[in-house]
Structure 1
């Protein structure tokens, strides 16, 4: 991943590139189709594939949207891009100044500076006011300096595949639909931090996740998950909730209990992949009731993954 900002003072590559443009939050199946088409062009022309995106959603800057719910953090986006063959992921810092660039300046100082041989973007990609800075008008701004490939709207079961639909599915706990639209399970990456060690006391130690960036979270409840530590994935059950049993109803906690795992991973980065909503958060009369429920949650999680393996 290459982090840069405007103005781009010098070329980032020695050769020309096939340049895919978009924000690509979630790197969902619509994004993947676009990037794979760009990759096919790159392979045919024997050029590297570059994806250009931004460090934050433009709406945070030009529309003042706060606490934007992201599907992927920058590092998660880089991970997904590498999986589908992207050679260079360029992350441009999206500032107020950058948001005001005229369309011609964007083309001259960004696309041309990145040495684009061919630009690949979705039908609705814009680089300024949508009535002017759209894909229909891009040839006028390009002035023959690069080729242009426009990818049409992607449809899933009669609806446009979009990040908004995926966010709604995750918030509703509909992780199967989110997985279908993403092309992979929804995942959350962060650092393991010290909690209150309540799980340890109950015999179900948890890794408490501190997010590396604002992210969409599944609705409050308990989930069958897989958790990656290093290069290894472990079956796990993960709760998203307020710790109502211990009277902490102000902060949302993400706590993952990894099965057959006994390592000190405080301070390490882990990734949780969300598979199935199991139940809502519950408050119990006593700790024995909670322990009994945790045993049921583990059994339900193991049964789910056993069924998936059949």
Structure 2
């Protein structure tokens, strides 16, 4: 279904008021988040389903020098939530002023006065407000006083424990996209705008679309079998490299370069989604561009085979 994003400065439409609102960062929108949303729908099946999340992620605000860690930026997060029947995505600006807001003011001013939530859903460890002064017990008491319902979603677990964004990040950094995708319930996707590169790929017969990782988590550096969603709605298989390109060695900034199979077109300045399916090999430096070309051809054949039978 389609989802509408309501920014922190946007008016809240009358039809969005009275929603059941799930609270949290929802980074990655994984199977644990899907379980929270099922709890939300079950609590008030007749109410619109909404999510309130924070932009930027609070961790990025409090620890700005940390390496990028996001599993999903806003566009991808909204698409994943919409696929889970969320009608409204409220984004709360997380800045210095908001970080100083008391837990009481968050419940009263944001959840009750601004959004008009009829019911709230969160995990048992949800904490909020200045210095995390509000917990679930606090939220329950204040929500009841304001006539707002509250449901606590149990942790969603598998044999390894609770499914979390942290687990998924570690799997991606260790080079296990298949395992990460199993916890996400869909392939992990980097969605970004195609930028101009040095066009060296064309000279060896493998033109690439170049994407900056930006605030996305950097997964294990190396070569992946991928699928690509293009702006026209078409889907293509491909092979991608994520890393510093040691053979070229012209930058310290990691980037994603994807060769899209069976595609010949101009994607510059357009947003595409690249989904990681299988890790083929670690990043390596080659003695020559001829050696690199031979390896890329082998990588492309391996990616085609994997994606054909996956």
TM-score by length of 1: 0.92
Partner residue, 1:219 = 220
Which residue of 172, 181, 184 maps to 1:179?
A: 181
Correspondence for 1:76: 76
| Deviation of 1:222 (Å) | 0.5
CA offsets, 1:204-256, max 9 Å, x none?
Answer: 00001134x40112211110000111211100000012222223252212100
Q: Which moved more, 1:109-118 or 1:21-30?
A: 109-118
Query: Corresponding residue for 1:104?
Result: 104
CA contact (8 A) 1:103 1:141 kept: no
Alignment of 1:128-277 (within 5 A): 128=129, 132-142=133-143, 143=145, 145-211=147-213, 213-230=214-231, 231-277=233-279
Cα distance in 1 for partners of 2:208, 2:245 equals 13
Could you say which residue in structure 1 is the equivalent of 2:39? 37
2:93 maps to 93
SS at match of 1:246: coil
Q: Is the 8 A contact 1:39 1:85 kept in 2?
A: no
Provide the C-alpha distance between the structure 2 equivalents of 1:239 and 1:246, rounded to a whole number of angstroms: 13
How far apart in 2 are the matches of 1:111 and 1:247? 50
Matched, 1:292 2:290: no
CA contact (8 A) 2:177 2:277 kept: yes
If the length of structure 2 is used for normalisation, what is the TM-score?
Answer: 0.92
Alpha-carbon RMSD: 1.8
Q: Which runs of 5+ in 2 are unaligned?
A: none
Question: Mapping of 1:40-51 within 5 angstroms?
Answer: 40-43=42-45, 46-51=46-51
Matched residue of 2:7: which SS?
strand
Q: Is the aligned partner of 1:126 residue 2:127?
A: yes
Aligned pair count? Answer: 302
Alignment check: 8 A CA contact 1:39 1:86 kept: no
After superposition, the Cα gap between the structure-2 partners of 1:175 and 1:147, relative to the gap in structure 1 and judged at 3 Å, is same
Answer whether contact 2:20 2:118 (CA < 8 A) is retained. yes
Helix, strand or coil at the partner of 2:166: helix
Shift of 1:174: 0.8
